[in-house]
Structure 1
Amino acid sequence: MALNLSSPWEITKMELTKPDGLKRGQLDIYIDFTAGSQFVDDKGNFCGVYDTEERKWQHLNFFEHNCFLHARVPRIKQKDGKVKTVQVPWARPGSGFTLLFEAFAMLLIEYEMPVNKVGSTLRIEPHRVWRVFNHWVEKGVEKDTLSTVKNVGIDDTSSKKGHNYITVNVDLDTRRVIHVCKDRGSDAIAELADVLKLKGGSPVAVEKVAIDMSPSYVSGVQTSLPNASITFDRFHVTAKLSEAMNEVRKLESKGNQMLKGHKYTVLKNSKNLSKTKQQELEFLLMMYPRLAEAYRLKLMFNDFWEITDTQEALTYLHFWCDMVDDTDIFPFKRFVKTVKAHWSGIINYVKSRINSGVMEGINNKIQLAKRRARGYRNIRNFKNMIYFIAGKMKFDYPYYPS
């Protein structure tokens, strides 16, 4: 009953061996089929047993004892002369674990336990857990459909600090990852277009794309997603402005000890600071007029994102750029050149209202998984973990009652 066996399978023997002085032993359960049993071939015909081969699978622990199933797995000779190994009901082909064992391993990963820890909990090597994990995730990814994808967010991230960048593609409407690839730039966009075709979608059906200001991404979208309007992601544009603001701080701090240790006092918005930090910020802006002017311009630029009328947004952005050009704040003048070089994509934000919060939320999940694993050396493992935590896909591994 516990193994959910049905005819013709039956348990023939059970042995619990326990070395002297050790609490942990091993339970071996031997399964066989009744004599004269027939099994179904690929075409639904019943066939007699041709021969058998001995197989072994690790099962869930019996109390503290390791548990293994053993069976003579029958092979049948089909009418076309081919010999086929019969599928046993308690394990998938090619696996050394039972389905319930694999389901429990997947449940532990779902509960955010690092794979190395899952391995030590189940008393197996982590690479064997990864093999199980990759099988079920890739099976789910293969069955996924992308027929409704119209608005896409594209960003890159590294598998570990400074190494092996990958591109993450997100369906902004369903807020889920739809494809992960090793390439960056235009090659990544081309691969996304191929995957859309393969999974029932269409590159020409994509209407809006949110990307950073990378020229290779821009080129890739124009070539592979020809009908998509480009919106430059708000987060990346704001990050460029923060870089300019920090450069102003560095220039002002030369020979002035007072600005040391106040990087984030200046970079954060005042409302996100504590009362003490707000008072320090007010003092610094009073002491450094150029820094104060840059901070005021930064706050004014942030107001752009709240404008909903396209013509008003155009007028405001022109006005802001002219204000910067009238100053001697050179880091901000370089930022204005960046804005003008990517003008239409920034203005498109007003039309598309693509929310970078979706990408940020998914990226936060990815970074958390990366920290738990202390980085990923294996790109395949990293890609599949992203699908698992942010793909919202249906996986076929057996349900394990938690």
Structure 2
Amino acid sequence: MHAQRKPRCGVCGRPAPGYDASPGRLWRHLALGQTIFWLHYAPRRVHCREHGVRVERVAWAAHDSSFTRAFEELVAWQAQRLDKSSICRLLGINWRTVGTIIERIVEERLSPGRLEGLQIIGVDELGWKAGHKYVSLVVDHLRSRVVWVGEGKNEETLDAFFDELGEERTKELTHATMDLSAAFSKAVGNRAPHVRKVFDRFHVQKLANEALDTVRRQEVREQAGSQEGKALKQSRWALLKNPWNLTVRQGEKLSELKKTNQTLYRAYLLKESLARGMDYVQPKRASEHLDKWCQWASHSRLAPFAKLAKTVQRHKDGILAYVETGLSNGVVEGINNKIRALSRRAYGFRNPKAFRAMILLCCGGMEFTPPLPVAA
């Protein structure tokens, strides 16, 4: 291998005067079958005005990397498709090396243009390390890809996204879909007050299901040992499922509850009525329905639904935005499911930086072109 005519700093790439020579070193390259190829070269050290004494830049590898760019390109391409064990076996490297290469190549190849032209974004949080740690995701709805990942799930986390986005690009945003998180809602309201917040119906109905299940558990405790208590057995899914998905047995269970437990059946009707309110296509009719529903729930003598009525009233504008636009967090939830599958590949996410790199690698629209064979 021959050095460049004029050495350059390995960090910034600017031409710099030579400082001294360094011992020869090896770079791991691609393999041919079971035969591994190594590149050997004795790089010079240069004296950069900005970075001081550094090893010169070489054309075949990134700075401070022991692998060629072609090899790292292949690792990244495989990491998008294979589990950790398969990559380690195919390439003859350990799993820590896979994680290190992913972090480096994502940092190098992450496009600054990913934040350009954002109009409709989705915001959500995702737990990792058994739910003890969280990262927040910002998804571009129009391109269905993750554009930003940050550690934590509070207001300050999303503030960091807006800091990176900048005022000019923030002005281009029109809608933001999210769950009913107070932190995310506050951050969007403070940093982008012109953006229409859209609260996903899935999360609203999830709260209604939770309120219904709370009422069911209270009834089970209060009527334990009685004939009415026996009728509550195996009623959970009959209450929570959509009416059109009920089995014959579950339909019979609902009919039985209507006769034996008016309290629980009233909670069921409240849950179904809230869902119907979000089925309207006219925002005015949906608004009227939600107002009536909140009044009914507030006077239902069911504490979980009275609490939910306050939540719905507080977030009514965002819920109506869903009715008006049809936007939901479905794209974001789909990406979240993909990320959960990625976390189970066991790449050794010891820190949020590694987890962030893996998310952006597989869900950020990054493309790689490793030197693969072409069919004749």
Q: Which residue of 2 aligns with 1:337?
A: 310
| Structure 1 pair 337–129 and aligned structure 2 pair: CA distance change class (3 A) | same
What is the CA distance between 1:50 and its match in structure 2? 7.2
Q: Structure 2 CA distance, aligned partners of 1:140 and 1:217? A: 28
Rounded to whole Å, the distance in 2 between the matches of 1:333 and 1:375 is: 44
Per-residue CA deviation, residues 239-284 of structure 1 (Å, 9 max, x unaligned), is 1111101112112222124434443332221333444444444444
Q: Deviations over 1:357-389 (max 9, x none)?
A: 112111111121123328833211111111122
Equivalence for 1:220: 187
- Structure 1 residue aligned with 2:342, among 369, 379, 384? 369
Per-residue Cα deviation, 1:99-131 (whole angstroms, up to 9, x for no partner): 2322221222111323x5523443323222111
Segment drifting more, 325-334 vs 65-74: 65-74
Structure 2: stretches of 5+ with no match in the other structure: none
Aligned residue identity for 1:168: L
Task: Classify 1:282/1:373 alpha carbon distance in 2 versus 1 (closer, same or farther; 3 Å).
Answer: farther
Aligned-partner residue type, residue 234 of structure 1: R
Question: Aligned residue for 2:242?
Answer: 269
Paired residues of 1:38 and 1:48 also in contact (CA < 8 A): no
- Paired residue for 2:161? 192
For 2:154 and 2:4, the matched residues in 1 are separated by 56
Asked whether 1:233 is paired with 2:200, we answer yes
CA contact 1:54–1:72 (8 Å) conserved in 2: yes
Match of 2:279 in 1: 306
Number of residue-to-residue matches in the alignment: 360
Structure 1 residues 199-234: Cα deviation after superposition (integer angstroms, max 9, x where no partner): xx5223322222222322222112111211222222
**C-alpha displacement of 1:160:** 2.2
Q: In structure 2, what is the Cα distance between the partners aligned to 1:202 and 1:143?
A: 12
Provide TM-score, normalisation by structure 1: 0.79
Q: CA deviation at 1:84?
A: 7.5
Q: Deviations for 1:289-325, whole angstroms, at most 9, x for unmatched residues? A: 3222222221221122221212111111112223333
* Contact 1:156–1:168, Cα closer than 8 Å, also in 2: yes
Distance 2:198 2:19 in 1: 63
Aligned to 2:139: 170
Does the C-alpha gap of structure 1 residues 93 and 44 become closer, same or farther in structure 2, counting only changes over 3 Å? Answer: closer
Q: Distance in 2 between matches of 1:148 and 1:241?
A: 36
Point out the structure with the larger strand share: 1
Q: CA RMSD in A?
A: 3.1
Percentage identity across aligned positions?
A: 28
1:148 matched residue in structure 2? 117
Residue 142 to residue 214, structure 1, CA distance change in 2 (3 Å): same
Which residue number in structure 2 is paired with residue 39 of structure 1? 5
Name the residue aligned to 1:160.
129
Aligned mate of 1:104, from 45, 67, 74: 74
- How do residues 274-293 of structure 1 correspond to structure 2 at under 5 angstroms? 274-293=247-266
Matches within 5 A, 1:248-267: 248-254=215-221, 255=224, 256-267=229-240
Q: 1:44 to 1:307 in 2, by over 3 A?
A: closer
Whole-Å Cα distance in 1 between the matches of residues 67 and 186 of structure 2?
47
Which is higher, the Rg of structure 1 or of structure 2? 1
Output the TM-score relative to the length of structure 2: 0.84
| TM-fit CA distance, 1:149 | 0.9
- Alignment gaps of 5+ in structure 1: 1-8, 10-32
> Given the superposition, is the C-alpha separation of residues 38 and 324 from structure 1 closer, same or farther in structure 2, using an over 3 Å criterion?
closer
Report the Cα distance in structure 1 between the residues aligned to 2:47 and 2:208, rounded to whole angstroms: 70
Change (3 A) 1:374 1:288: farther
State the alpha-carbon separation in 2 of the partners of residues 77 and 245 from structure 1. Answer: 69
More relative contact order, 1 or 2 (CA 8 Å, 6+ apart): 2
